[in-house]
């Protein structure tokens, strides 16, 4: 694989929080255009891995690249290439949702007129255009989830990273989000999502990586991973924690 075809490349990544080792020498790659599910129980190290890729977290050892750019030494390039949809709602309470997306675009050097155009396009696509001039407090939690996705997409990143996007969603919203993500992947976006729902990984993804206790247990194309009987113990642990 050429460097620019590797959406994410992680080599020998080790991360400690104080004395606690959250990631133990993990290595894996995600190719451009893939729909990758990072599956593992609570506390496995999924969010920590995402924080390292997006530059929110430091690490003690290893090399992490996004489309060939090093996330430490070339972070300006890597941050533009990545859109992050975090697990928690963390919106500015004083802004309308339109302003909020325009401000976000500003972090990437997108000028207000273009930012406003992109914002309305995304709000329309994610069925939030009627709410354009309200603050996020006035949205239902399903709308807030969609707003998180809009914010992650405002600078048109190459890879969309979602941390447990459907945790706590009702069935209808879960299906809606799955549809959006499938569409985005069909349009060429690389998608990396973490989940502790086996079903989500099975339904959506092309490639599955399984992480447990900070180690990669298995990674490969979906059919191969799902066939692997030796994984039943981890699956039981994963599904047992839902």
Ligand X SMILES: Nc1ncnc2c1ncn2[C@@H]1O[C@H](COP(=O)(O)OP(=O)(O)O)[C@@H](O)[C@H]1O
User: Which stretches of the chain bind ligand X, using CB under 6 A?
Assistant: 17, 20, 22, 40, 42-48
- Site membership for Mg ion, residue 51 (CB under 5 A): no
Separation of alpha carbons 108 and 118, rounded Å = 13
Segment interacting with Mg ion (CB under 5 A) among 4-12, 16-24, 43-51, 204-212: 43-51
Q: Which residues is 37 bridged to in the sheet?
A: 193, 208
**How many Cα atoms are found within 13 Å in the side-chain-facing hemisphere of 58?**
4
Sequence-distant (6+) residues with CB within 8 A of 199 are none
Q: 43 vs 68, which CB is nearer to ligand X?
A: 43
Q: 43 vs 68, which CB is nearer to Mg ion?
A: 43
Sequence-distant (6+) residues with CB within 8 A of 58 are 15, 52
Tell me how far CA of residue 140 lies from CA of 87, 90, 91, in angstroms.
16, 15, 14
43 binds, among ligand X, Mg ion, none (CB under 5 to 8 A by kind): ligand X
- Site membership for Mg ion, residue 47 (CB under 5 A): yes
Sequence-distant (6+) residues with CB within 8 A of 19 are none
Separation of alpha carbons 14 and 64, rounded Å = 11
Separation of alpha carbons 32 and 30, rounded Å = 7
Segment interacting with Mg ion (CB under 5 A) among 47-55, 94-102, 103-111, 184-192: 47-55
- 190's tokens: 């690389």
20 binds, among Mg ion, ligand X, none (CB under 5 to 8 A by kind): ligand X
Per CB under 5 A, contacts with Mg ion among 87-146 are: none
Tell me how far CA of residue 134 lies from CA of 129, 137, 149, 150, in angstroms.
10, 8, 17, 15
Separation of alpha carbons 222 and 29, rounded Å = 15
Q: How far is the CB of 194 from Mg ion (least distance, A)?
A: 6
Give the residue nearest to Mg ion (CB).
47
Q: 128 vs 210, which CB is nearer to ligand X?
A: 210
Segment interacting with Mg ion (CB under 5 A) among 41-49, 126-134, 175-183, 209-217: 41-49
Q: How far is the CB of 160 from ligand X (least distance, A)?
A: 17
42 binds, among ligand X, Mg ion, none (CB under 5 to 8 A by kind): ligand X
Q: How far is the CB of 105 from ligand X (least distance, A)?
A: 28
Q: 12 vs 42, which CB is nearer to ligand X?
A: 42
Q: 41 vs 83, which CB is nearer to ligand X?
A: 41
Site residues (vs Mg ion, CB under 5 A):
46-47
């Amino acid at each position: 694989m050429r460097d620019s075809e590797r959406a994410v490349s992680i080599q020998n990544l080790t991360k400690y929080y104080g004395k606690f080792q959250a990631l133990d020498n993990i290595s894996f790659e995600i190719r451009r255009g893939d729909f990758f599910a990072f599956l593992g129980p609570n506390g496995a190290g999924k969010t920590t891995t995402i924080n390292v890729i997006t530059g929110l977290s430091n690490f003690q050892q290893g090399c992490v690249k996004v489309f060939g750019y090093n996330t430490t030494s070339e972070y300006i390039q890597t941050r533009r290439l990545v859109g992050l949809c975090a697990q928690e709602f963390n919106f500015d309470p004083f802004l309308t949702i339109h302003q909020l997306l325009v401000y976000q675009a500003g972090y990437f050097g997108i000028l207000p007129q273009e930012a406003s155009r992109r914002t309305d396009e995304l709000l329309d696509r994610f069925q939030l255009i009627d709410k354009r001039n309200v603050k996020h407090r006035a949205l239902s939690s399903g709308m807030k989830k969609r707003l998180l996705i809009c914010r992650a997409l405002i600078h048109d990143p190459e890879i969309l990273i979602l941390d447990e996007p459907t945790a706590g969603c009702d069935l209808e919203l879960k299906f809606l989000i799955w549809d959006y993500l499938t569409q985005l992947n069909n349009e060429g976006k690389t998608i990396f999502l973490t989940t502790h729902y086996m079903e989500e990984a099975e339904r959506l993804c092309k490639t599955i990586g399984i992480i447990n206790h900070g180690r990669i247990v298995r990674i490969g194309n979906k059919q191969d991973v799902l066939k692997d009987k030796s994984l039943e113990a981890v699956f039981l642990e994963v599904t047992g924690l839902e």
